[in-house]
Amino acid sequence: MRQEHLSQALERARSIVDEEIDAMRLLRDSFDDSLIAAVGLIQACPGRVIVTGVGKSGHIGAKLAATFASTGTPSFFLHAAEASHGDLGMITAQDVVLAISNSGATKELFPVLEFCAANGTKVICMTANEQSRLAQQSDICLRLPKVKEVCPNNLAPTSSAVITLAAGHVLAVLLMEKRSFVDSDFGKLHPGGRLGLLLSSVRRYTEEFKDTVPAVAPHELLGHVVIKLAEGQRGCVVVIEDGTRRLLGLITEGDLRRAFAPDMFNKTAQAIMTTRPVTVSVEDLMSTAVSLMKERRIANVVVVDGETVVDVLHTKDLMQRGYM
């Protein structure tokens, strides 16, 4: 591609994003009391949020249902076309239906609306047409602004899809805040993948891997410390109180190098240990431990339960196990 054509393409790309940003501004300005009412209705719902739609609205709805479910609002997606063929049985009076249609005239949604009306199920709709049948038959209408699609023919759902997704995210985040949904809650719902690992508890890590902690008593001579350090393969040795496993200090390879002297093997562990090593509690998240290690540029963090040593984390192990 010639340079002038490349420049034109990049400029066009930026203008497309600018147009979608303009659509987002219209969405921001369109919010009113109906949004707060929708949040309140979902928060009070004893059942689930059932998101429904077809076409591009259906794709957006499926993503939003996944977002709700993963952030503390039980939810699933019901394809509106399948609903009329038996899947209406998934909807109960305890649920809230979130129906999405930019035009409000999606005919596949009408049987869902009729079933909800007969069943006593509350309906929230997202549409750009307040006069549509969908809007008129819903308990709450979240009005979407009418926006120009960035599609050159102003036909393909582009800008409208972006603002629908954003409006759903607003609902999800407001619900998270209402329910005080925190990172540990998120971790419980995301046990898989690196994100799930980081949001899991340190206790879960220690119970899963059950590594032997390289430890010495404070009176041990450095010759014994060196042996323990080599056996443990963690780059450190924890110094613990005899009989209680109470944390007293930590000796790293760096501490041994700094202690090097002709008489070093006459010294005890207590003489060279770091008395205030970095620790994490078994109740902390693994993300806390990883962040401490990165911020302080250290290879080890001691895991404690109160004052008792439970484990010692090492960057090598965390990297091999997918935490870093």
The CATH number given to whatever domain includes residue 152 is: 3.40.50.10490
Beta strands at 96-100 and 49-53: parallel, antiparallel or unpaired: parallel
Long-range contacts made by residues 115-120, C-beta under 8 angstroms, separation at least 24? 115/83, 115/88, 115/91, 116/91, 119/91, 119/92, 119/93, 120/93
Does 187 map to a domain?
no
Whether residues 7 and 121 fall in one domain: yes
The pLDDT assigned to 212 comes to 86
Whether residues 216 and 144 fall in one domain: no
Last residue of a domain, which of 180, 213, 236?
A: 180
Last residue of a domain, which of 149, 180, 211?
A: 180
The pLDDT assigned to 165 comes to 96
Which residues make Cβ contacts (< 8 Å) with residue 225, sequence separation at least 6?
A: 216, 237, 251, 256, 269
The pLDDT assigned to 186 comes to 63
The pLDDT assigned to 190 comes to 60
Q: If 0-12 CB within 10 Å is exposed, 13-18 middle and 19+ buried, where does residue 133 land? A: middle
Query: Which tokens go with 279?
Result: 């620790």
For 67-109, the pLDDT digits (tens) are 998 888 999 999 999 998 889 999 999 999 999 999 999 999 9
* Number of structural domains found in the chain: 2
pLDDT lower than 50: segments of the chain: none
Give the other-Cβ count within 10 Å of 137's Cβ.
19
Whether residues 22 and 168 fall in one domain: yes
CATH of the domain at 288: 3.10.580.10
Does 188 map to a domain?
no
Last residue of a domain, which of 152, 180, 208?
A: 180
Whether residues 91 and 137 fall in one domain: yes
The pLDDT assigned to 182 comes to 63
The range of the structural domain enclosing residue 103 comes to: 3-180
Instruction: Specify whether the CB–CB gap between 73 and 27 falls below 8 A.
Output: no
Does 111 map to a domain?
yes
